[in-house]
């Protein structure tokens, strides 16, 4: 009997994880597959970007472009040709050599007619790819595209090998500091250190991404010690519990996610700028941030990341003022307001913000009927068929103000002046000139009150004290673990 009791006891006490030289990373959404060059799921990049796959250049946690597989590059004076000097002695995880041919293969694959690359437009300007030798490659664009360098730092432009490209979705083979070990679908993705990495070696021996969908389970998993770090903790409402616990560190950073009250500018009455201005004045951002995000978000007045050097703070352009809102509504011919629908996608930030927005707009007589929908439904009705009035959603792509220049995008904003600003930015190689144009673009959409600009979605990093080197911000959705280590503090 005593033996049974003992073994039962041991069974419960046996530590699940005895290695301290690796890290368990919590992830709320499971990536559908592990190929970052197909499809758009941010969760793919959250696992593979910088860890398994690398591009010619990398984007760091401040959104800066730094050398990747290209150690340095030269730009021709007309801004059209880049000569990339590639790292030598780099091997893919399956042992094949990395050369200029792989770069050409990757880019040709991404711009091919049957490409399923979600950001195919990145490669559209490429006119010519010339290989000088195995480690020197020249890429010529149809004209100067100053964004090109940043764009090829995105996960959609990582370098893949012709031998493994077709199977990267299930068995990713890259050049990064970690290699793929296995994927227990629905549970976890295991990476191990790449001991033959060409650059500075990763400091962790392994990294396991554990999929924890339920926000409450994210809390218990952290508290139980199953997870060492949650780079983007899904429940802002209980961040304070970690904040006051000395065993954890909470780091609130920014994402590239502008959360907006997207408005159907083609549909009455929202095609009337007076109505949109009334909505802008009726929105109380502080109340939204406190109520929906528990104070952990930054107000925005336009569609631009507040930590970007060219950001203009336009939150005071249409301050919260119910009288002004009512005035604009009267002027627009809706003295008693009107009824409209608000279609909300599933993320909790959207649902909570949407409910508060509906309440705020009701103060000026705009009565919103909330319709909660799944992503697939939302994409079908709102994004694709533009069958909506208002919606709340976060646009997480970095530097995506150019979506306002597309008259067929779901905002339905068709403004020649704005389109000209964006095409000028695209042509302008001068940094100061571009900055001025970006500011002009921000002002234009803010003044036109194209959408309700609410807040920048925060990145809520929670980790055990002693975990070092995690990214603070999400300029792109990446958990680059190459510099992460766990400090031994006894």
Partner 1 sequence: MGHYILKRLLSLVLTLLVATVVIFVMIEVVPGDPAAYMMGLSGSTEATEALRSELGLNMGAWDRYISWITGMIKGDFGTSYTYRVPVSDLITDRTLVSVPLTIYALILSTIIAIPVGVISASRRGGFLDTLLMGAAQVGVAIPNFWFAILMVLFFSTSLRWFSAGGFPGWDAGFLECLKALTLPAISLALPQAAILARVMRSSVLEVMNEDYIRTARAKGLSKGQALMRHGLRNALIPVLTILGLQFSFLLAGGIIIESIFSLPGLGRLVFQSIAQRDLIVVKSIVTLLVLAVVVITFVVDLLYAAVDPRLREGKRM
- Residue ranges in contact with partner 1 by CB under 8 A: 11-14, 16, 30, 32-33, 38-42, 113-121, 169-170, 184-188, 210-214, 216-217, 220-221, 223-226, 346, 374-377, 379-381, 383-384, 393, 395-397, 400, 403
Torsion angle in degrees (nearest 10) through CA of 311, 314, 316, 321: -140
Residue 360 CB, shortest distance to partner 1, in Å, is 25
Residue 220 CB, shortest distance to partner 1, in Å, is 4
The whole-angstrom separation of Cα 344 and Cα 352 is 9
68-to-52, 88, 90, 195, 346 alpha-carbon distances in Å: 13, 12, 11, 18, 36
Q: Which of 221, 340, 218, 211 is nearest to 271 (CA)?
A: 340
Residue 396 or 436 having the CB closest to partner 1:
396
Residue 224 or 431 having the CB closest to partner 1:
224
The whole-angstrom separation of Cα 418 and Cα 293 is 31
Residue 459 CB, shortest distance to partner 1, in Å, is 18
Residue 186 CB, shortest distance to partner 1, in Å, is 3
Residue 28 or 360 having the CB closest to partner 1:
28
Residue 196 or 385 having the CB closest to partner 1:
385
The whole-angstrom separation of Cα 145 and Cα 161 is 26
Residue 222 CB, shortest distance to partner 1, in Å, is 8
Q: Which of 486, 478, 483 is nearest to 202 (CA)?
A: 483
Residue 197 or 388 having the CB closest to partner 1:
388
Residue 170 CB, shortest distance to partner 1, in Å, is 6
Residue 116 or 195 having the CB closest to partner 1:
116
Residue 3 CB, shortest distance to partner 1, in Å, is 15
**Structure tokens, 62:** 């401040």
The whole-angstrom separation of Cα 62 and Cα 133 is 33
In which residue are the tokens 């009035």 written? 389
The whole-angstrom separation of Cα 70 and Cα 83 is 9
Residue 42 or 292 having the CB closest to partner 1:
42
User: How many other CB atoms sit within 10 Å of the CB of residue 447?
Assistant: 15
Residue 221 or 322 having the CB closest to partner 1:
221
DSSP 94: T
CB 457 within 8 Å of CB 238: no
Rg (CA), the chain: 24
Residue 291 CB, shortest distance to partner 1, in Å, is 25
Residue 476 CB, shortest distance to partner 1, in Å, is 13
Residue 357 CB, shortest distance to partner 1, in Å, is 19
Q: Which of 314, 379, 315 is nearest to 343 (CA)?
A: 379
Q: Quick one: how many helices (H) and strands (E) in the chain?
A: 13, 19
CB 232 within 8 Å of CB 459: yes
Distance of CA 220 to the CA centre of its chain: 26
Residue 49 or 135 having the CB closest to partner 1:
49
Residue 274 or 396 having the CB closest to partner 1:
396
The whole-angstrom separation of Cα 473 and Cα 480 is 11
* Contacting residues for 3 by C-beta, under 8 A, at least 6 apart: none
DSSP 434: H
């Amino acid at each position: 009997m005593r033996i049974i009791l003992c073994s039962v006891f041991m069974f419960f006490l046996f530590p699940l994880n005895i290695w301290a030289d690796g890290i368990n990373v919590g992830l709320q959404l499971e990536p559908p597959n592990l190929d970052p060059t197909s499809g758009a799921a941010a969760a793919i990049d959250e696992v593979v970007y910088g860890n398994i796959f690398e591009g010619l250049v990398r984007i760091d946690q401040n959104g800066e472009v730094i050398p990747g597989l290209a150690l340095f590059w030269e730009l021709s004076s007309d801004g059209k040709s880049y000569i990339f000097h590639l790292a030598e002695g780099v091997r893919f995880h399956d042992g094949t050599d990395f050369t200029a041919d792989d770069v050409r293969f990757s880019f040709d694959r991404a711009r091919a007619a049957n490409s399923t690359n979600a950001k195919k437009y990145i490669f559209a300007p490429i006119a010519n790819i010339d290989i000088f030798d195995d480690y020197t490659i020249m890429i010529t664009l149809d004209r100067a595209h100053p964004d090109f360098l940043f764009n090829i730092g995105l996960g959609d432009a990582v370098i893949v090998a012709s031998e493994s490209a077709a199977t990267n979705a299930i068995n990713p083979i890259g050049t990064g500091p970690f290699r793929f070990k296995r994927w227990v679908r629905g549970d976890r993705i295991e990476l191990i250190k790449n001991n033959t990495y060409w650059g500075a070696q990763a400091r962790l021996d392994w990294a396991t991404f554990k999929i924890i969908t339920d926000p409450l389970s994210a809390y218990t998993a952290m508290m139980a010690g199953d997870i060492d770090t949650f780079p983007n903790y899904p429940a802002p409402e209980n961040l304070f519990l970690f904040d006051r616990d000395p065993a954890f560190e909470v780091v609130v950073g920014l994402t590239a996610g502008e959360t907006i009250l997207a408005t159907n500018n083609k549909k009455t009455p929202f095609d009337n700028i007076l109505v949109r201005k009334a909505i802008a004045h009726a929105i109380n951002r502080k109340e939204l941030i406190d109520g929906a995000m528990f104070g952990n978000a930054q107000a925005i007045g336009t569609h631009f990341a507040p930590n970007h050097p060219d950001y203009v703070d336009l939150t005071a352009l249409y301050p919260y003022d119910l009288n002004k809102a009512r005035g604009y509504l009267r002027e627009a011919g809706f003295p008693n307001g009107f009824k409209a629908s608000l279609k909300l996608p599933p993320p909790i930030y959207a649902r909570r913000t949407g409910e508060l927005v509906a309440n705020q707009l009701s103060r000026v007589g705009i009565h919103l009927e909330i319709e909660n929908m799944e992503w697939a439904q939302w994409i079908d009705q709102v994004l694709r068929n533009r069958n909506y009035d208002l919606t709340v959603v976060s646009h997480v792509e970095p530097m995506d103000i150019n979506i306002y220049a597309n008259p067929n995008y779901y905002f339905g904003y068709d403004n020649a002046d704005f389109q000209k600003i964006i095409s000028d930015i695209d042509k302008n190689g001068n940094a100061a000139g571009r900055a001025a144009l970006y500011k002009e673009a921000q002002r234009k959409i803010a003044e036109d009150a194209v959408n309700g600009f609410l807040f920048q979605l925060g990145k809520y990093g929670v980790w055990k004290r002693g975990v070092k080197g995690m990214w603070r911000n999400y300029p792109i959705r990446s958990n680059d673990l190459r510099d992460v280590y766990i400090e031994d503090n006894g």
